[in-house]
Amino acid sequence: MIFNSIDFALFLPLVFGLYWILNLMDLKLQNLLIVIASYVFYGWWDWRFLSLIIISTLIDFSIGLNLKNEQNLFKRKILLWSSIIVNLGFLGFFKYYNFFIDNFISAFSFFGSDINPNTLNIILPVGISFYTFQTLSYTIDVYKRQITPTNDIIGFSAFVCFFPQLVAGPIERASHLLPQFKKTRVFNYSNAVDGCRQIMWGFFKKIVIADNCAHFSNEIFNNYNDYSGPTLILGAIFFTFQIYGDFSGYSDIAIGTSRLFGIDLKRNFAFPYFSRDIAEFWRRWHISLSTWFRDYLYIPLGGSRGNNFNKMKNIFIIFIISGFWHGANWTFIFWGALNALFFIPLMIRNNNRKHLDTVAKGRRLPNFSEVYQMTFTFSLTVLAWIFFRSNSIYDAFQYIESLILGLFNRQNYVDCLNYLYWEIGHALPLLLLFFMLIEWIGREFEYGIEKIGLSWSKFFRYGFYYVLIILTIFYGGPEETFIYFQF
């Protein structure tokens, strides 16, 4: 089931109503409802893959309990590695099997020996990368004795499969989410209203910004040979907004929905396109994944300790694995490596923690230097997204080559303006401007419209919300599924 569907519009009020009725009875029943609703939510797409979630849940639950009682370090390590192997085994098989087989075949062919390809037609289970990382974090935390394992299987199942964040995050930590399933939830009016506001903003980002941009970025990326330099820049910028609107929109809907159920989820995006350097960008983009890699991979590898070589090595490992996490394609690996290259100069000069505050905090407008820094960082991310979006590394380089060569021909600018005027029209640029303006105004808060209109009269505040809804209904782009579902 996807958020932008009528199925979900019927599903959510039903589960919401039942949930708060059960709140008066029993906590276990309420958690059981979450588990059943989450399985229905997931099974709506393909019920067969529910088995993977259930197996992961049972294995990590029992390993957690065994780790609690086990004092022998060697046996504890065996338990930990069993969980890692099973979880990453599922992930590896469903997501990376064909990638590795194809690359082995290519490598052998390169050395002149042909081997018989034996790839399977494997369907990638939606959200497998997200819930695998979530359950893994539980076992690792229990192993490190940072959390006490739970003996409540229903509460643990709810933690693994909580439907708002099951298929595309935010990737939760057991220390944050699991305790919330252990205590009675109390309905909080202002929290629920705030949740609705965040859901509304999430839908606007997804349906208006991401889906409209997707229409043009798909057209340009799929037919890049037909377009010239400036139009290719436009295509890359559209994808930059598409992926942000799509993924942060999903996170907003997930966080807002959870608030309706009295559950608090981690923040996943913090206005990343207003970052002043790439390090700040990575503190603001897909925060739940970045912090996962930081805590479970980067720090155990040595983090920023040691000499420059060690620092560079660790950064490369983290970014390449992060790229690979996104998908079984060299484009994602290259995207990760490129980000590492952008990051390393900051790291070596110890400038990677220079911008910890929000840009232009307490001011309306940024100064010249901040504008320059934001523009430069934005350009680097646009360049990296070209690799992320392209179908192959070859296509990405061809795209960039056509883009650069096309910049030196005046006619290409005329073509670009024609494309902008005749194909794209005035609505989308105006909507993007409106969107960025709202994001800028709300950059010091949790999400764009969190505080907007709260001090206005009811008439204007509601008017603003109705404008957002009407824009979402009438200016929504052609329906696209969420990009991060494929990861």
Q: Please, what is the minimum distance in Å from the beta carbon of residue 248 to another protein? A: 24
Cβ closest to another protein, residue 20 vs residue 97 = 20
Which residues, other chains included, contact 434 with Cβ-Cβ below 8 Å and sequence gap of 6+? none
User: Between residue 449 and residue 468, which ones bind another protein under the rule CB under 8 A?
Assistant: 462, 465-466
Residue from 6, 73, 120, 365 that binds another protein (CB under 8 A)? 6
Give the three-state DSSP class for 55.
helix
Computed on alpha carbons and rounded to an integer, the radius of gyration of the chain in Å comes to 23
* Residue 7 near another protein by CB under 8 A: yes
Where does this chain touch another protein (CB under 8 A) — which range of 2-10, 157-165, 359-367, 415-423?
Answer: 2-10
Cβ closest to another protein, residue 29 vs residue 88 = 29
Residue from 20, 44, 97, 440 that binds another protein (CB under 8 A)? 20
Whether 238 contacts 177, CB under 8 Å: no
* Residue 10 near another protein by CB under 8 A: yes
CA distances from 114 to 106, 107, 109 (A): 9, 9, 5
**d(Cα 236, Cα 381) in Å, to the nearest integer?**
10
| Backbone phi, psi, residue 337, to 5° | -65, -40
Q: Please, what is the minimum distance in Å from the beta carbon of residue 467 to another protein? A: 11
**d(Cα 192, Cα 100) in Å, to the nearest integer?**
46
Cβ closest to another protein, residue 108 vs residue 466 = 466
Please choose, from the candidates 355, 345, 322, 202, the residue with its C-alpha nearest in 3D space to the C-alpha of residue 265. Answer: 202
Whether 30 contacts 22, CB under 8 Å: yes
Helices 458-474 and 189-203, interaxial angle, to 10°? 40
Whether 106 contacts 100, CB under 8 Å: no
Q: Please, what is the minimum distance in Å from the beta carbon of residue 228 to another protein? A: 23
* Residue 469 near another protein by CB under 8 A: yes
Count the site residues for another protein by CB under 8 A.
17
User: Between residue 186 and residue 225, which ones bind another protein under the rule CB under 8 A?
Assistant: 187, 189, 192-193, 196
Where does this chain touch another protein (CB under 8 A) — which range of 204-212, 385-393, 410-418, 472-480?
Answer: 472-480
Q: Please, what is the minimum distance in Å from the beta carbon of residue 1 to another protein? A: 11
Cβ closest to another protein, residue 20 vs residue 413 = 20
Cβ closest to another protein, residue 11 vs residue 296 = 11
Q: Where are the alpha helices (DSSP H) in 327-448?
A: 330-348, 368-389, 393-406, 410-418, 427-441
Catalytic (active site) residue 326: yes
Determine the straight-line distance between the first and last CA of the chain, rounded to whole angstroms: 16
Identify residue 357 by its one-letter amino acid code.
D
**d(Cα 20, Cα 103) in Å, to the nearest integer?**
51
**d(Cα 394, Cα 305) in Å, to the nearest integer?**
36
* Residue 427 near another protein by CB under 8 A: no
**d(Cα 53, Cα 90) in Å, to the nearest integer?**
10
Of 215, 286, 326, 355, which residue is the catalytic one? Answer: 326
Please choose, from the candidates 61, 410, 328, 26, the residue with its C-alpha nearest in 3D space to the C-alpha of residue 184. Answer: 26
Question: What track of x and - describes contact with another protein for positions 78 through 97 (by CB under 8 A)?
Answer: --------------------
* Residue 368 near another protein by CB under 8 A: no
* Residue 25 near another protein by CB under 8 A: no
Whether 336 contacts 321, CB under 8 Å: yes
Cβ closest to another protein, residue 229 vs residue 262 = 262
Question: What track of x and - describes contact with another protein for positions 154 through 193 (by CB under 8 A)?
Answer: ---------------------------------x-x--xx
Cβ closest to another protein, residue 196 vs residue 312 = 196
* Residue 73 near another protein by CB under 8 A: no
* Enzyme catalytic residues: 326
User: Which residues make up the interface to another protein (CB under 8 A)?
Assistant: 6-7, 10, 20, 187, 189, 192-193, 196, 462, 465-466, 469, 473-474, 478-479
